[in-house]
Amino acid sequence: MQQFTEQFDVVVVGAGHAGCEAAMAAARMGLKTALYTLNVDLIAQMSCNPAIGGIAKGHLVREVDALGGIMGEVTDAVGIQFRLLNTSRGPAVWSPRAQCDKQDYRLKMREVLESQPNLKIKQAEVAGLILEPSAVTASETPDRIIRGIKLRDGRTVGAAAVIITTGTFLNGLIHCGEQQYPAGRSGEPAAVLLGEALKALGLRGCRLKTGTPPRLDGRSIDWSKFEQQPGDLDPTPFSFRTRQVAHHDSQVPCYIAWTTAETQRIIRENVHRSPMYSGQIQSIGPRYCPSIEDKIVKFPDKITHQLFLEPEGLHTHEIYVNGLSTSLPVEVQMEILKSIPGLETAEMLRPGYAIEYDSIDPTELERTLETKKIAGLLLAGQINGTSGYEEAACQGLMAGINASLRVKGEAPLILDRTEAYTAILIDDLISKGTSEPYRMFTSRAEFRLHLRIDNADRRLTPYGRKVGLISDAAWQDFQAKQQRLAAMKKLLEKTKLTNAMQERVNFPPPLAIDPASVGGQSFAQLLKRPEIIVEHLVPALRELSPEFFIREAASGIREATTGATLPSEVRNELKSVETEIKYEGYLLQQQRAIARLKKAELHTIPEWFDYGSISGLSREVQETLLKIRPRTLAHASRIPGVTAAAVSLVHVYIEIQSKRREQAAAI
């Protein structure tokens, strides 16, 4: 039997955003956990932009928090600018975003990890995995099982489950103009030994690319040339457990800049020196976060492109130029900067660069993020072909939960597409794979009105509680909130707008609502009108339900007449109730569609099912189904190239093969 230097229940390799969530989840669930990283001083490093959230990404962070993850709480503690995006549109696409202090984020995350019982942080290079043959020989079960990891210094570490979260470090190769060199990110070594070890396991892989823009010295920038973009006056926190963000009264602005026709000329004349266009880079980059040279080439008629100047922290002058990702030579990057009004004298602290790295084809994974071929080995983050801190964090959390449940011998936690963006991300990856870095969008959801940021806790916190990630205090707060929302909805449904009540509502003059036309209607009926919002009813609601508004006193924020400056905690709860009422018809439609989808998910495909025996199924479809091995008919229907007719054939042949097996068993 293998002798190990140390023994853990769960080992996590890589301390980026996926690794931190995975390690915390496993430790909080009571398992002895080790987190291995190349440099403990760079835990949760923000390799690219110093920001968390954004469109759809904010939804993912809310879901991580609702399940008991830590990204939201850390962001609330170190965020230096908060904005709720898309508020001019419907509530389904509202999404929080926070500019963070890059250094403080790293330090705060390390503080949280180091204070967690059951969790050990280790600095060492992981060079390989220790496997042994599986005791089960069935054709559709993993043929190997994980037993631990090998370190470069010769030590061996035993583990019942291993989670790989290596980001861009697997055989990473940085490109800056004609220069290229191995690195995991700028200034850090690539994980070459582990990269080669994973290739030897027989997992299908691919090569992906991402990039980052130059960083500038803020003291060398003419800030008067840019439009200021301030944060929200009363920020909406990421975490449901945060009452008020730490820097709510000391937020810093970002600034909006624009490229020029001169910028376009410089890039066009030098695009042949970009590794993306010289042939030096063969990998595929992120479609929805293109380099500046990609924008110029693909959108030749667009003369100007928007940029955002974002501070990297409160204690540094370093500025991140969002929108200017590039791998052009350094001297060309300097020319580009000088062509932008306000940046003519800007000093570049760090040049932009592109990085290629290895990833694993995510169709190699189960819904639990465990590999199909190796039991106990789970993958999370950019190694699965995704891009972004938030996409990594939600995978890390789910991998940590499922690795822990596996070690405990309990059933895995598998969310479906109707419950979370996290589930949509995982389902898309394992069903379709990806040939480019995968980014989450609200448009990927079939039921996005049901998957809002305000109800992420209602959707997912019970799951977090069940697996042991939600504390008693947090669970009590969650239950109290649900009771408040239910009571407020009931109040709105039963309260009629009487003549006396009309004096205590606040319909602004532009609405020109005739009191006679709305008399006798309930507040809920009024809210179904598109021109009426819950803030109009706040003066009356304060009198009818003073206990709901008691939190105003603690916040110090109150506007007695309009309710426009309600504290974010109160305002967001009211808006959640308003959404449930205003969009009730649409939500009911989606609930019926969800019920139909869940019914389809109940039609499971047995592990023993033989796709090769289906007459009428093309070889291409057979190969696709054999490769992915969908677990349900609904899952099969979402695989590219698998037609509705093919799914129907599978359904019929499940019945046929089941009867044949029963007859054979009876003989």
Rounded to an integer, what distance in angstroms lies between the CA atom of residue 144 and that of residue 106? 36
pLDDT per position as a tens digit, 600-645? 788 899 989 999 888 888 888 998 999 888 989 888 988 988 988 8
Stated as kind and residue range, the H or E segment containing 663 is: helix 644-666
Size of the chain, expressed as the number of residues it contains = 667
Give pLDDT, residue 519. Answer: 67
Residues 542-554 have a mean pLDDT of 81
Helix runs in 101-187, H state only? 102-114
Give pLDDT, residue 149. Answer: 98
The answer to whether residues 58 and 95 touch, using CB atoms and an 8 Å cutoff, is yes
Give pLDDT, residue 204. Answer: 92
Stated as kind and residue range, the H or E segment containing 475 is: helix 472-494
**Distance of alpha carbon 568 from the chain centroid:** 23
- Is 562 a residue whose pLDDT tops 60? no
CA angle 175, 179, 180 (to 5 degrees): 50
Q: Give Cα separations from 385 to 254, 309, 354, 397, 426 (angstroms).
A: 30, 28, 16, 17, 11
Across 183-305, where does the E strand assignment appear? 205-212, 215-217, 227-229, 254-258
Rounded to an integer, what distance in angstroms lies between the CA atom of residue 364 and that of residue 362? 5
Strand-pair category, 6-13 with 156-164: parallel
- Is 559 a residue whose pLDDT tops 80? no
How does DSSP classify residue 557?
-
pLDDT, mean over the chain: 92
Strand-pair category, 79-85 with 205-212: unpaired
Q: Which two tokens stand for residue 561?
A: 């007449």
Residues contacting 30, CB < 8 A, separation 6+: 118, 404, 468
Band of pLDDT at residue 113, cut at 50, 70 and 90: very high
- Is 577 a residue whose pLDDT tops 70? yes
Rounded to an integer, what distance in angstroms lies between the CA atom of residue 215 and that of residue 318? 6
> Which of these, 423, 393, 547, 431, lies nearest to 53 by C-alpha position?
393
Task: Taking the CA atoms of 276, 365, 132 and 123 in sequence, report the sign of the dihedral they define.
Answer: positive
pLDDT per position as a tens digit, 43-88? 999 999 999 999 999 999 999 999 999 999 999 999 999 999 999 9
Q: What share of the chain is helix, strand, coil (3-state, %, to 5)?
A: 40, 20, 40
Residues 516-529 have a mean pLDDT of 84
The answer to whether residues 13 and 169 touch, using CB atoms and an 8 Å cutoff, is no
pLDDT per position as a tens digit, 268-291? 999 999 998 988 988 888 888 899
Rounded to an integer, what distance in angstroms lies between the CA atom of residue 164 and that of residue 149? 11
Q: Which two tokens stand for residue 144?
A: 């190997």
How does DSSP classify residue 180?
E
- Is 563 a residue whose pLDDT tops 50? no
